[in-house]
Structure 1
């Protein structure tokens, strides 16, 4: 635990006048207090300090981390979604081997420490823990610190972390704390700052997540046309959160992914298992939220706190009673993961907790919908004869409720009106009447009724006597809740030692919910199970989001990338489908790596450790960045971070500057990316770029076909889009001029534009011809890579393999113009 040694910070004079977004508006010599268990020892071999912060409310489970080595001016930032076991946090901290860990004081308060703090202290007993006031975990200040201190060579990290609020909050507290213990500040632009995703998950930067519309639709944030929206058939909040975090951080371990896919396959093949599991899972409440509230001890025994605790004990009973039905649904499962979840449900602690709960709580007490029904459940939750005074208070409450109903019945008889008793949590008991079935004298209600409201054809009102009875009812309720609360607290103190089994249950329910959601998606759309090899091969794949939007199924296309052909240049007119196709590949990759089936007839993927995209042509007003500068920053980020296991999607690079400069930049970027083994898909309108395949045999040219259709009069020719991908680069030229022809531009301008374009084409655009030697080298290269790939992945029997190799030989003979000269070399 954190020991209370207080200290005071003296702000650097340059930042003394700043105001924190968290509410600390001190100016001048502000004195924020830190609490530390010990000072940092200069003689200790460890020299890394780590700040950890967890989101609150709906963002619970989202963890931000920032670390700095006192012997090395490098700041490492991390942010990721973790489950209730916080395995990723512990793994990262073990890799960092910190000297000291700092957290907010609200997370470490004695008697109210968070589970994250408890887990970290349990796993790192020899590490010093320090507390920092929560207001110093400020994401705005964190971003300012990075902008001020990050060396220009690493400034592209800003693009990645500008929306990672928790790691920014962590770095703000970290740098302020280091300033305190070191009694010094870092020089501007002197730190190396980098962002690292969590282990065993692929890294997708925030810009790519936005470009691909993974969780948020770019046109309307409320629209469900996102990858998360089309996959989300979850029944519980925990399952929904798990799906969202998996989409943003896909797995990179093929074995784990295949384990999930085995489960989805079994759910699809066994209808009884699917529907029985779905029925049970849909009855679970938010188990993680329940756990969070259960382990919190309120500082004051208020009526609200008492009512909340009683409610959550009823939720706990409801949850525990679902363990046996969940076990029964899983009993006949065959896949290892589902069997493991079945085994975890056999934990005896579930029965121990439920038995203890049932000794105090009535058997028929359960979670119900409706505020009055739930109030009744809470009032009569505790068994009779446990507390004599509680029994008396409940009888009093029942009599008051009966009196209110009787009073309203008398009013109905008195005024000959169809009155009925209603209830809401805000108003208590009140009177309702259907206006259509009532005859009012003078069109008005009797003067005895007050607080009259009319919604559509229903009157809602009350009377002075009903208000008084409501007050008596509330007073009786307070007594009931107080006495029940004391009994509930005593019960919970007995079950806390067994409650950890609920963390496993929470993990089981959320995972099963997500897997059921994947299976549900497959029943609606015709998806296929992906394989994992060293090849990206998609046969007749389509865009999953476009399928939901379109009235007809999207035109499917093939994709094929290997180590030998890892760079694909895609050309075609505007609106021919290039951008949609590129996004489709990235979405299918992500779906495969989270354990979902994918929209295709067949699919094989190479695990991508990083997914980068450069899509879009918009200026960024917030950062005052032009289209071109935004392009350059995004490409710089990709170049700095890409590795051989990356998937890189680039759509339209270099169009924010002149044609000559744009082609030059594209060519240079392509040559750099070609030095990697990353799978790259590069869409461009610069047809000159297609000639790069003459120099690099691992480049493939593809294009989207279009057809020319004459109008009924025969005077105009229009472009008909087929949305079909074919080999080779596009032969379609001047499609910009053809698009302009159908616009409202005057014919004279169109004619001048055509003449100028033809003149430039004749003078500048000289196509490079491939020589027989380059064709021979390319054919040899492709044959060699196919043979290596066959040796690695072939599952063919000897006869089939012989036929396949003969086919390769024929293709080589067709591709190589000097076959006779090279045959002996092979």
Structure 2
């Protein structure tokens, strides 16, 4: 289907995504072999009168040859680099209203990983934005029906979603926040200047630092979307076809997304290579972005670099995939009790079996980023370059390293008893793992493995293929070895000639260079021999090169290109043989990331006295404490009890400022989230009712960007909660009505309380309005609580001082006029 489409595109105007509010700038989305801005602009201007050939690098899709043919004919133009959107700017810059006035942000370029993106990324870089999302909304009577399709460029998985949203588009905004997109694609009809849709307006307001791209509405084609899924989805997940067959909007979004991604990546996905799945909005709990920020789920509000967050409390993952899974689970907790209980069973077994815990941790820590590895393997570059070849060779070595860990992982899980761990053990018994590894070992050397260090890894790539498979490759490798030996010999001769302690060093940017030992650092650069050039001093050592060494580095690079070219053809032939079996790696990726997250939960439990939660129709916590506060404090935080039922679903909490009200609210929400992702919680006993939504209204700051006062911001947030809350919600409201006068504040708080009482949502409501506490005389399902304080005699000032106990008790506070106890005159 893709080849037919490429042919049709060759006779039609080229498809180019557009960006708003800026004049044309930079290069078109063409390959890196067309560096000229003027040439790219000329190509754009002439595209309507002279259609680009289907094989042109800048066309929507090149002529996509079959996998084997594409590989057999591969050859590398000397000096070319892989086509990467890192070095490419778009035909138009699409700016948000905020960035339009900011010269530093108005030229913000979209970034996409290149074909050779490393599978060894750290857990930190694992969270760098790499998700592209296509969003489309129904028209006419279908307005409010939202279709989404997203793909993580680090992982070959497409998530489809379709749901009915209300006029606030709460579900759509929350979903996008959870995805943390790099770029959002929408139809050009939704983004018409002066006549844009409400959905587009809300998305641009909420995602000011995200790139927006518009494409013509015709590319949101549900028929093409279904064809893409039929062609690209692997057999293990083809049940998604039944789920999305009548969901036209997510299919339309998928069509536009895949066309756009293949366009900017300058590569296509191989047939039957992607994991495509449907995720309904009802499968996870909804936590809006404001609540996620208030609760410090991922980012600390005082210091964005700090790990004093819920993610920081729970993150002891060893792999990038495990770290990503933990992040997504925190933002979208589970709502299925059976699935949560299975996770808790696993954590319990890990805690009880020390040998299993440390054995798993040892094996999991050796895995690379399997999802990212898959992403590289399933892409077929439109243009064969040295970088593309090097990437394939590297990732085949990573694949061998990963598959060699399957057996140790299976041995570790062999005696597990919980159903989920047994299921993971069963998935590792797939015979395809051994089949792929055997085929790889017939071509790749047994000692070829992942190693740290650019020179070590370069050596592994050069000698990855076994000897005697290609006579020309063996000759090229001997030539390369001779050159490297000549470089080492030349530097040894220079050291002897000048009586200097010189040694051979290597870096990926400079190649081989000379470094002088630190004990001669007192020598000035002027005293060095004249044939040494490009001298630089780093700490207590000198680095430099020579004209002869530069020439030898060039010979070395030329030899490497030949080696990579011949190795690439052998590797591609091998990949074509194992490709039909490679889909088992999706299961392996899921298994490793989930085990890593469960190990992280167990690790967190060993550092504190957490307890396994239960799930009932009651929120009951005995002696629970704030998990982030525990991480920060030298002493264990004060623990408190909580009890909310359907018959008493609203707690009104009073107490002086700084008595612990806001911290207590956050503590309840954090414990609820921890329980719903399958973690133990900080308490002596904990029982939770599943929350389908978690809402908070705690911040009271002005919002200068939207010109909102404290009161306006309060009203916007409380209106959002009232529109979206139901009987399955957990709602935390902190001192509503502070932004207006007392009389109006009491009236607003009273009305909000009455509404929440009527819908049976579990609500914790803190306030300084003692008049609100009398609502318990009218409604049986409300209870008053307060934070205790003690008065201690201050002999130096002859007045009482307040001692905060941070203990929650029944009834309303009796504290009044407590400002008298302060230092104020």
User: How far apart, in 1, do the equivalents of 2:457 and 2:336 lie?
Assistant: 45
Q: Of the two, which has the highest radius of gyration?
A: 1
1:570 aligns with 2:653: yes
Aligned match for 2:696, one of 613, 624, 633: 613
SS at 1:588 equivalent: helix
SS at 2:486 equivalent: helix
Shift of 1:22: 10
Q: Which residue matches 1:738?
A: 820
User: How far apart, in 1, do the equivalents of 2:814 and 2:498 lie?
Assistant: 87
On the 8 A contact 1:362/1:382 being kept in 2, the answer is yes
SS at 2:392 equivalent: helix
Specify whether residues 16 and 537 from structure 1 end up closer, same or farther in structure 2 by C-alpha distance, changes over 3 A only. Answer: closer
SS at 1:540 equivalent: strand
Shift of 1:590: 0.3
User: How far apart, in 1, do the equivalents of 2:194 and 2:356 lie?
Assistant: 51
Aligned match for 1:74, one of 136, 141, 144: 144
Aligned match for 1:162, one of 199, 206, 220: 206
User: How far apart, in 2, do the equivalents of 1:710 and 1:67 lie?
Assistant: 65
On the 8 A contact 2:132/2:184 being kept in 1, the answer is no
User: How far apart, in 2, do the equivalents of 1:703 and 1:376 lie?
Assistant: 68
Q: Which residue matches 2:89?
A: none
Stretches of structure 2 that go unaligned for 5 or more consecutive residues are: 29-40, 52-58, 62-109, 114-127, 166-181, 224-278
Q: Which residue matches 1:750?
A: none
User: How far apart, in 1, do the equivalents of 2:756 and 2:364 lie?
Assistant: 46
Specify whether residues 628 and 284 from structure 1 end up closer, same or farther in structure 2 by C-alpha distance, changes over 3 A only. Answer: same
Shift of 1:149: 3.4
| Deviation digits for residues 592-640 of structure 1 (CA, Å, limit 9, x no counterpart) | 0000000111100000000001111111111111111111111111111
1:149 aligns with 2:197: yes
Shift of 1:146: 11
User: How far apart, in 2, do the equivalents of 1:31 and 1:663 lie?
Assistant: 64
TM-score (norm 2): 0.74
Q: Which residue matches 1:264?
A: 347
Specify whether residues 164 and 351 from structure 1 end up closer, same or farther in structure 2 by C-alpha distance, changes over 3 A only. Answer: farther
1:413 aligns with 2:512: no
- Residues 547-586 of structure 1: pairs in structure 2 closer than 5 A: 547-586=630-669
| Deviation digits for residues 641-691 of structure 1 (CA, Å, limit 9, x no counterpart) | 101000001111111111111110110111111101110000111111011
- Residues 90-239 of structure 1: pairs in structure 2 closer than 5 A: 92=161, 137=185, 148-150=196-198, 158=202, 162-163=206-207, 198-239=281-322
SS at 1:137 equivalent: strand
| Deviation digits for residues 75-99 of structure 1 (CA, Å, limit 9, x no counterpart) | 436688999696862xx45999xxx
| Deviation digits for residues 214-271 of structure 1 (CA, Å, limit 9, x no counterpart) | 1111122111111111111111110000000000000000000000000000000001
- Residues 526-545 of structure 1: pairs in structure 2 closer than 5 A: 526-545=609-628
1:665 aligns with 2:752: no
Specify whether residues 728 and 142 from structure 1 end up closer, same or farther in structure 2 by C-alpha distance, changes over 3 A only. Answer: farther
On the 8 A contact 2:156/2:375 being kept in 1, the answer is no
Q: Which residue matches 2:270?
A: none
User: How far apart, in 1, do the equivalents of 2:19 and 2:364 lie?
Assistant: 53
On the 8 A contact 1:542/1:557 being kept in 2, the answer is yes
Specify whether residues 135 and 641 from structure 1 end up closer, same or farther in structure 2 by C-alpha distance, changes over 3 A only. Answer: closer
Q: Which residue matches 1:690?
A: 773
User: How far apart, in 2, do the equivalents of 1:548 and 1:136 lie?
Assistant: 36
SS at 1:243 equivalent: helix
1:652 aligns with 2:735: yes
| Deviation digits for residues 503-562 of structure 1 (CA, Å, limit 9, x no counterpart) | 111111100000000001011111111000000011111110111111111111111100
On the 8 A contact 1:21/1:138 being kept in 2, the answer is no
TM-score (norm 1): 0.74
Aligned match for 1:281, one of 357, 361, 364: 364
- Residues 212-361 of structure 1: pairs in structure 2 closer than 5 A: 212-361=295-444
User: How far apart, in 2, do the equivalents of 1:468 and 1:165 lie?
Assistant: 45
Specify whether residues 138 and 430 from structure 1 end up closer, same or farther in structure 2 by C-alpha distance, changes over 3 A only. Answer: farther
SS at 2:506 equivalent: strand
Q: Which residue matches 1:106?
A: none
On the 8 A contact 1:55/1:62 being kept in 2, the answer is no
On the 8 A contact 2:132/2:183 being kept in 1, the answer is no
On the 8 A contact 2:185/2:212 being kept in 1, the answer is yes
Between 1 and 2, higher relative CO (CA 8 Å, sep ≥ 6) is seen in: 2
User: How far apart, in 2, do the equivalents of 1:514 and 1:146 lie?
Assistant: 47
SS at 2:459 equivalent: helix
On the 8 A contact 1:535/1:605 being kept in 2, the answer is yes
Shift of 1:63: 4.9
Shift of 1:148: 4.6
On the 8 A contact 1:417/1:439 being kept in 2, the answer is no
User: How far apart, in 2, do the equivalents of 1:348 and 1:78 lie?
Assistant: 36
User: How far apart, in 2, do the equivalents of 1:502 and 1:602 lie?
Assistant: 39
SS at 1:297 equivalent: strand
Aligned residues: 662
Shift of 1:712: 3.0
Q: Which residue matches 2:803?
A: 720
SS at 2:380 equivalent: coil
SS at 2:500 equivalent: coil
Shift of 1:394: 0.7
User: How far apart, in 2, do the equivalents of 1:483 and 1:358 lie?
Assistant: 18
Aligned match for 2:555, one of 467, 472, 480: 472
| Deviation digits for residues 682-711 of structure 1 (CA, Å, limit 9, x no counterpart) | 011111101101101110111111111121
Root-mean-square deviation over aligned CA pairs: 3.7
Shift of 1:360: 0.5
Aligned match for 1:634, one of 717, 721, 726: 717
Specify whether residues 370 and 73 from structure 1 end up closer, same or farther in structure 2 by C-alpha distance, changes over 3 A only. Answer: closer
- Residues 747-826 of structure 1: pairs in structure 2 closer than 5 A: 747=825
